[in-house]
Chain A
Amino acid sequence: MQKFEVFSGVAVPLRRSNVDTDQIIPAVYLKRITKTGFEDALFAAWRGDAEFILNQPAYAGAEVLIAGPDFGTGSSREHAVWALCDYGFKAVFSSKFADIFRGNAGKQGLVAGVISDEDTEKLWAAIEANPGSQVEVNLVDRTATIGSLTVTFEIDDYTRWRLLEGLDDIGLTLRDEQAIVDFEAKRESWRPKTLPAKGV
């Protein structure tokens, strides 16, 4: 996982609330067996519409999503976060995220920052006044800045620390690798081993 400190990218205003994970990625895409390659599946039901915000040239290559309240509700599918990451998003802002979505985002290195409804409106207005403008996301200070507008966002300390360090769950555990090695050294020989295979 990449370390995240300060980052700038094109921001896209998604003026919708209650975007559930079925809308982020419809169930038909869950049959796949890979963890990547879901960029085409993101918001699949809306992407066919030429008017849809992501289809507008000014927002090509968007990396920051600013959505309405209750983002990521519904099914717990991790694919929703994979699809956002595969599309290129590095950060998502909303005044309210579903808990599971927020947890999944943190695991994959996607910043899910909580901003007030008021600040959401301000950011939307600022972007729409100047489509394609860049937003600077500063995880150290927990701020998002467009031009002269700076808003603060919330993200819990633990997730923020992990993102700043670039640690996924596995990376975090592997910091304890010596403890794992020590544990394995004491592991009794009666405990199960699948190899060499017996009974075949």
Chain B
Amino acid sequence: MSNKPLTLAEKVWNNHLVARGENGSPDLLYIDLHLVHEVTSPQAFDGLRLAGRPVRRPDLTIATEDHNTPTWNIDKPIADPTSRTQIQTLRNNAAEFGIRIHSLGDVNQGIVHVVGPQLGLTMPGITVVCGDSHTSTHGAFGALAMGIGTSEVEHVLATQTLPLKPFKTMAINVDGVLRPGVTAKDIILAIIAKIGTGGGQGYVLEYRGSAIRALSMEARMTICNMSIEAGARAGMVAPDQITYDYLAGRPHAPEGSDWADAVAYWNTLPSDEGAVYDAEVHLDANTLDPFVTWGTNPGQGVSLLDTVPNPADIADPNERAAAERALEYMDLVAGTPMKQIAVDTVFLGSCTNSRIEDLRAAASIIKGKTKAEGVRMLVVPGSAKVRLEAEAEGLDKVFKEFGAEWRFAGCSMCLGMNPDQLAPGERAASTSNRNFEGRQGKGARTHLVSPLVAAATAIRGTLSSPSDLLDGADSNAGVN
């Protein structure tokens, strides 16, 4: 072994090498944890059946129902036949192949990326895969976590390994102190606006710097979650005491001497002094404002204090054309202050922002306030457990008194595979991660925002930050 300084991602990669690829063929990596949901798994299980192969490690595999699940009347049969079939198929496959499943009604049912960390299964220095692009979420623990396709799901089920091509590394340094009202979501939206939706292609991103170190685990998950929106293979944050404290005592966290062994190993994971990244990006946390999107990809974002950009000012012809098309779809006029954009719906949920801290943050803003007339607000906890936790704290009452709909757990309006959709032309402030055309419903218009901005927007009816709620603070001057 050479003593070349290594990055966090390289260390985790090397630690999972089953076979090194020769002559340009991929490396074979061991997979510590495989998360499964109903949408991308049916054909993978069918493939196993056709080939007569078992699941190699049911004890490293776990399934939950999330994309198709209804968020109310969960005790009734699912109305949509496709959704019902996908969920029933997952249940049958789990039973046939001996896989643990958390079904609708179970306390650990919920969005797959909320459930893994909640159970303490997601931990530093492991490899995590799931047939879902937002698997990058788990990188917040210092795990190498990647989204995979259905044939790869079958491959992992059969072999617990995955052939993977080497990646490049990018350091994203975020230094400074966030101003009040500015959160992890604003950091990641600003990063994607800066490097573009293809800026991370081929890279594993490592988020570093004082502003990242100061974030809670759930905030780090928000950041890693959207790595894929920058085109990256994965996103990671080095583990530290905050990570260990969050993990300790969770159902599947290591215990006793295992915990001591694990921490000893985890302490070796942070990137070495002098480790070389293939690319580096810097972001100043001190000057960051709440960030929102105006267009139809997550890179089309600006400060909330800014205006809708003018495509004519964009030099790159492709980006200019994309901006023109986005403004038309979004029905926005260049130069309009972002704060004047009125919304119909506010969606608080998705694997980006549906954990207990997100619900607490939004509840703290709306408590005792009245919802803007005509605005509908949906609050969808990330898991049944988060929902119970919120109810134990009385957050459900805060939301209900405010006039928001308090729903059951699932992906919900993040992608509208269940009945939670926007009508054509409707506009939403959404704490999710994708503002693609039609993502939240045919013809629907999405502005990606943080939970704090979502809450303030629900009160004022137009895109707003909590500072806008202060007396007389109706101007565009950000309040610290």
Contact = CB atoms under 8 A, between A and B. Distances in A.
Tell me which of B18, B102, B250, B261 has the highest count of chain A C-beta atoms within 10 A of its own C-beta: B18
A176 B18 contact: yes
A199 B107 CA distance: 9
Q: How many interface residues does chain B have, given as a range?
A: 35 or more
A173 interface: yes
Given A34-B43, A189-B258, A197-B100, A173 B28 contact: yes
Contacts of B53: 170
Interface stretch (B149-157, B279-287, B303-311, B390-398): B149-157
A33 B154 contact: no
B368 interface: no
A179 interface: yes
Given A33-B46, A173-B161, A180-B160, A107 B100 contact: no
A36 interface: yes
Contact of A192 (B28, B46, B50, B60): B60
Chain B interface, >50% SS class = mixed
A180 B28 CA distance: 9
A50 interface: no
Interface in A74-122: 78, 107
Contacts of A183: 18, 30
A33 B28 contact: no
A194 B62 contact: yes
B254 interface: yes
Contacts of B102: 200
Contacts of B261: 188-190
B72 interface: no
Nearest to A189: B258
A31 B250 CA distance: 37
Given A189-B258, A192-B123, A170 B154 contact: yes
B58 interface: yes
Nearest to A195: B59
B51 A198 contact: no
Q: How many interface residues does chain A have, given as a range?
A: 20 to 34
A150 to B, nearest CB: 31
A67 to B, nearest CB: 23
Interface string A42-79: 00000000000000000000000000000000000010
B265 A188 contact: yes
A195 B63 CA distance: 12
B209 interface: no
Given A170-B154, A194-B59, A176 B82 contact: no
Given A36-B46, A179-B18, A194 B259 contact: no
B159 A33 contact: no
A10 to B, nearest CB: 25
A187 B33 CA distance: 13
Contacts, number: 112
B262 interface: yes
A169 B155 contact: yes
Interface string B45-57: 0110011010000
Interface in A150-200: 158, 168-170, 172-174, 176, 179-180, 183-184, 187-195, 197-200
Contact of B82 (A31, A172, A189, A193): A31
Tell me which of A107, A172, A192 has the highest count of chain B C-beta atoms within 10 A of its own C-beta: A192
B161 A180 contact: yes
Contacts of A35: 43, 46-47, 50
A126 B258 CA distance: 70
A170 B55 CA distance: 12
A137 to B, nearest CB: 24
A31 B82 CA distance: 7
Given A172-B163, A173-B158, A190-B261, 19 more contacts: A35-B46, A168-B51, A169-B163, A173-B28, A173-B155, A176-B19, A176-B28, A179-B28, A180-B18, A180-B160, A190-B265, A191-B123, A191-B126, A193-B60, A194-B59, A194-B252, A195-B59, A199-B250, A199-B251
The 3 closest A-B pairs by CB, nearest first: A199-B251, A33-B42, A190-B262
Interface of A: 31, 33-36, 78, 107, 158, 168-170, 172-174, 176, 179-180, 183-184, 187-195, 197-200
29 contacts: A33-B85, A34-B46, A35-B46, A36-B46, A169-B151, A170-B51, A170-B155, A170-B158, A173-B155, A173-B159, A174-B159, A179-B18, A183-B30, A188-B261, A188-B262, A189-B258, A189-B261, A192-B33, A192-B60, A192-B120, A192-B122, A194-B33, A194-B62, A194-B100, A194-B121, A195-B58, A198-B251, A199-B108, A199-B252
